[in-house]
Amino acid sequence: MKHFFTVLVTVLFALPALAQNTFSIRGRVLDKVTGETLPGATVQVTGSGQNTGSGADADGSFKVPNLPAGTYTLQASFIGYKPLTQTVKITTQNVVASFALSPDNASLEEVTVVAAQAQERSTPVAFSAVSEVKLRETLSNRDLPMILNETPGVYATQRGGGTGDSRINVRGFDQRNVAVLINGVPVNDMENGNVFWSNWDLGDVTKSLQVQRGLSASKIAVPSVGGTINVLTKGFDDKKSVLARVETGSNNYQKYSLMLSSGQLKGDWAFTVYGSRRTSDGWVDKAFDDAYTYFGTVSKRAGKHSLSLTGMGSPQKHGQRSFPAQVGVYSDEKAREIGAKPVINGNRGFQYNPYWGTLDRYSLGPNGQKTSRGQEVLNERTNFYHKPQVNFNDLWQATDRLFVSTVLYASYGTGGGSSGLTASNSTTIAQNSATGQTDFQKIYDDNIGLPTANNPNPNPTRRATQFLINSVNSHRWYGFVVGGDYLVNDKVTFSAGVDGRNYTGLHYREIRDLVGADFALAPASGRDRNADPAARLQVGDKLGYNYDGKTRWLGGYSQLEYKTPLLSAVVSATLSQVAYKRIDYFQLKQADGSFVETDWTRFTGYSVKAGANYNITEHDNVFANVGYNSKVPFFNLLYTNAGRKYDNVRPEGISSAEIGYGISYPSLKVTLNAYYTLWSNKTTTSFSNASGEAVYSNVRNVNARHAGVELSVAQEISRRLQLNAAISMGDWRWTGKGLLNQTKEDGSFVNPDLVDQPVFLDGTHVGDAAQNQFQIGLRYEPFRGAYIRPSFLLFTKYYADFNPETILDPASSTDSYRLPTTRNFDLHMGYEFKPVLNNKVRLGLKGSVLNVFNEFYFTDVSNRAAANNGSLDLLQAFFNRGRTFTVGLSATL
């Protein structure tokens, strides 16, 4: 009887399985680095007489039904990722199988040698990656750096609010000292290290975005102190596709874009092209945005060569809010919050922008009567630029062990920024005290000579007293990067390469608008010494300054990497030779008739770094790295505006060390790391016109110490719910003292008797970025095809930026003002509709609400008082944007 009941129970439990003739395989497809789902990935199933498959839906899930018992081979693939295969066996029940794919964009293989993407559990650096899915779902209409606030150690703001005017700090170092690479090509300005995000609208064509903090994995010599940002754009897709998007949002934001991919064509050709049109009124008053973007890549595989030609650019023009204002100008409430006094005619709102005004360009009759021509809105401060860049890439697999990558690139940038100028060479022009805007009408009245009761002919020559200028900063940039990887054996790889750049910056001021006048005269401190000093200048004529800056760069690198499943270690070194020359077209020509040129000034920079990663178990790893970087000074830190070379300019030394621990499971990824960076002989520059005259300050030979800990967490709580979090806590301080020199607009010293004044910074906190950061975000899928992504961000321990030249007495060496804690909450959501038109067209709807609770907080703060801890009434600031939204509809064929 006992055996009978045993057999009966077994049969009863087996009946459902016996009755089930077919089964299913289900699972998810994820990005191995970020843990993000990969909607649209393909899973192919073969074996046991079957050849079928399925596509991943909006949450990355797939299901292949109606499979008989047997053994099957599954291959998951997705555009831009390496295919992954696994074998499963079906016996009496359904099977679950998930995939974590590694990025491998076919058209980007050729830049792998120089782009140096960090790899999980292998590369011994702290890094964070942002997948294409996250970019598409959360970027909204923000500049690309803004999405990086969700990664540890990063502080990004939109500064004055102009489109593309964002800035980014990594571990307290501004973007002049954070290397930015696009497809392995450096894009930091060769003269000052800045990155101008308005030059590209890369959000829609970025395949992956990776931030390597501290000593990056980049092999070429780049100005990386805080870290490196690697942007990899889309290449050609394996399949033909058409993607169209339409977006709209607050402040009359509109964007239309179209992307076409040919797929693999006959003869191993492929191409992808993209174009967009973007306009907006801007969330800051009159900070309009008007931009086009184009991108294209053509690829060809020829034998052992993989070739591609890529071009991109974004001709644009946008209004700007160049300088911050006293807190009370924006808000009485915020002024009271920090203990500052209200400002007369203040409380204008956080969108307030003084750099625009209205103007009626009326005509004057013979008797002084006015004939109106209608009122126009005129921006005092704008940015206009077009920086087309072309890259030619060749990846050559010379042998089974040798891979050679060659990148040739050229950039031809044209444009600059606009501002006002007075006859006395000041960039501060008339402002209407009642409206708080640039008083273009008064300027026009003065320039055209509007008669008054006391003066019937106040300006008989109609000479401009105030007018508008363009400060042009065009460039011609050509370069190459050649690198090779040689597999010594299955564990050791030797890499080496060379990087060359030739850069010419064209800098001058030109008249943009005479605002009613017939001509302008160049100010005595800013005229062409080779021309008639009384020459009447017209629109387009040059004044102020006119010079070329030339930079020649030649660098080399070598690296030795040892790699096993347990241990990976790397030692690398770079060496660079940089030469600078300045050609001035406004200084009096030399006796032989040639223009004044400086001698070539040469600097040698180098870096050495080493690191190792050890995988303790299949889920736990530790890593560490150390390094030293002798960083050459930028061109702009070498010469004054008048072309005088600063004395005793030396390379800056950066020492860095880092240690970290990682946990990696399919559903959980954690990285905890600590860092220490010491920057020696650092140089800082600043500008002030608070006295009514432009003053340029240069502080050099000071040290800064940056230390901190960082934590990042990504967890898949369930199939429908994922969590990501980032925490960083820093302690960044100045050490030692520096040397100050101050010059006027014409390059002469403000006080010739005060040269190399000591500046006492020791122990004060570094300002300009929050030292502590806390972020948490979720991605929830309430039902198939839909997602909701809330994100909460908090910054604290933010000290106001201050000018080091204000600390000329040891008694004033105290911290600048510490800003209140800031909080921001964003919400992103979307839905992927079921395919229509015979399953050929997929429609998607997405939306974002930024700053959901409409809270305002300090983002950029400058203290221009007489001391770094001076009166809060003089604190000048920018605030964040208020609540805005965007909505977008996409169609993919």
Query: Do 498 and 362 share a structural domain?
Result: yes
| Tens of pLDDT, residues 168-179 | 999 999 998 899
Residue 654 near residue 678 (C-beta atoms within 8 A): yes
What residues contact 769, with CB distance under 8 A and at least 6 apart? 155, 169, 172, 174, 798
Could you tell me the maximum CA-CA distance found in the chain, to the nearest angstrom?
A: 126
138, two tokens: 């959360």
Kindly tell me the burial class for residue 490, based on how many C-beta atoms sit within 10 Å of its own C-beta (0-12, 13-18, 19 or more): exposed
If you average pLDDT over residues 700-718, what whole number do you get? 92
Give the bridge partners for 733, in sequence order: 705, 765
Residue 863 has pLDDT above 90, yes or no: no
Position 707, amino acid: A
The residue among 651, 649, 646 whose CA lies nearest residue 632 is 651
Residue 446 has pLDDT above 80, yes or no: yes
Q: Is 277 a domain residue?
A: no
Residue 495 has pLDDT above 70, yes or no: yes
- Quick one: pLDDT at residue 485? 93
Boundary (domain end) residue, out of 186, 207, 233 = 233
For the entire predicted model, the pTM comes to 0.86
Q: Is 596 a domain residue?
A: yes
DSSP 87-156: EEEESSS-EE--EEEPB--GGGGGGHHHH----TTTS-SEEEEEEHHHHHHH-TTS-GGGGGGGSTTEEE
Q: What is the mean pLDDT of the chain?
A: 88
CATH number of the CATH domain containing 176: 2.170.130.10
Residue 668 has pLDDT above 60, yes or no: yes
- Quick one: pLDDT at residue 15? 38
Alpha carbon distance 319, 430 (integer Å): 19
Q: Is 255 a domain residue?
A: no
Query: Do 125 and 92 share a structural domain?
Result: no
| Tens of pLDDT, residues 117-126 | 788 888 999 9
- Quick one: pLDDT at residue 282? 96
Q: Is 238 a domain residue?
A: no
If you average pLDDT over residues 618-625, what whole number do you get? 95
Residue 724 near residue 716 (C-beta atoms within 8 A): no
| Tens of pLDDT, residues 391-425 | 999 999 999 999 999 999 999 999 999 999 999 88
When pLDDT is cut at 50, 70 and 90, the band that residue 33 belongs to is low
Q: Is 252 a domain residue?
A: no
- Quick one: pLDDT at residue 420? 96
When pLDDT is cut at 50, 70 and 90, the band that residue 867 belongs to is very low
When pLDDT is cut at 50, 70 and 90, the band that residue 8 belongs to is very low
Residue 478 near residue 420 (C-beta atoms within 8 A): no
- Quick one: pLDDT at residue 690? 57
When pLDDT is cut at 50, 70 and 90, the band that residue 452 belongs to is confident
Q: Is 300 a domain residue?
A: yes
Residue 320 has pLDDT above 90, yes or no: yes
Alpha carbon distance 677, 730 (integer Å): 11
Residue 382 has pLDDT above 90, yes or no: yes
What residues contact 440, with CB distance under 8 A and at least 6 apart? 357, 358, 359, 378, 380, 515
SS3 200: coil
When pLDDT is cut at 50, 70 and 90, the band that residue 99 belongs to is confident
Query: Do 153 and 8 share a structural domain?
Result: no
Give the bridge partners for 844, in sequence order: 832, 890
| Tens of pLDDT, residues 248-305 | 999 999 999 999 999 888 888 999 999 999 999 999 999 999 999 999 999 998 899 9
**Other beta carbons within 10 Å of 373:** 11
80-110 as b/e, with b when 16 or more CB fall inside 10 Å? bbeebeeebebeeeebebbbbbebebbbbbb
Query: Do 451 and 503 share a structural domain?
Result: yes
Give the bridge partners for 715, in sequence order: 668, 723
Query: Do 295 and 224 share a structural domain?
Result: no
Residue 376 near residue 362 (C-beta atoms within 8 A): no
Query: Do 85 and 134 share a structural domain?
Result: no
Alpha carbon distance 674, 358 (integer Å): 53
Query: Do 533 and 561 share a structural domain?
Result: yes
Boundary (domain end) residue, out of 77, 101, 125 = 101
Sign, Cα dihedral of 114, 120, 121, 124 = positive
Residue 104 has pLDDT above 90, yes or no: no
When pLDDT is cut at 50, 70 and 90, the band that residue 4 belongs to is very low
Measured CA distances, 641 to 192, 437, 584, 751 (Å): 13, 29, 10, 16
Phi, psi angle pair for 2, to nearest 5°: -60, -45
DSSP 743-802: EETTS-BSSTT--SEEEE-TTPBP-SSEEEEEEEEEEE-SSTTEEEEEEEEEEEEEBPEE
33 vs 421, residue with greater confidence: 421
| Tens of pLDDT, residues 113-166 | 445 678 888 899 999 999 888 999 999 999 999 999 999 999 999 999 999 999
SS3 805: helix
The residue among 798, 775, 773, 778 whose CA lies nearest residue 789 is 778
Alpha carbon distance 459, 94 (integer Å): 91
Position 28, amino acid: R
If you average pLDDT over residues 480-504, what whole number do you get? 95
Residue 86 belongs to domain spanning: 2-101
Query: Do 118 and 180 share a structural domain?
Result: yes
- Quick one: pLDDT at residue 807? 81
Residue 235 has pLDDT above 90, yes or no: no
Residue 107 has pLDDT above 60, yes or no: no
| Tens of pLDDT, residues 519-563 | 999 998 889 999 999 999 999 999 999 999 999 999 999 999 999
- Quick one: pLDDT at residue 113? 41
- Quick one: pLDDT at residue 453? 74
Query: Do 630 and 520 share a structural domain?
Result: yes
Boundary (domain end) residue, out of 101, 116, 134 = 101
Q: Is 265 a domain residue?
A: no
Give the bridge partners for 149, in sequence order: none
Alpha carbon distance 393, 235 (integer Å): 12
The residue among 757, 773, 655 whose CA lies nearest residue 698 is 757
Query: Do 501 and 531 share a structural domain?
Result: yes
Alpha carbon distance 529, 590 (integer Å): 11
CATH number of the CATH domain containing 67: 2.60.40.10
Query: Do 325 and 229 share a structural domain?
Result: no
Query: Do 592 and 711 share a structural domain?
Result: yes
- Quick one: pLDDT at residue 164? 94
745 vs 709, residue with greater confidence: 709
Q: Is 681 a domain residue?
A: yes
- Quick one: pLDDT at residue 114? 44
Structural domain total, the chain:
3
Alpha carbon distance 168, 174 (integer Å): 6
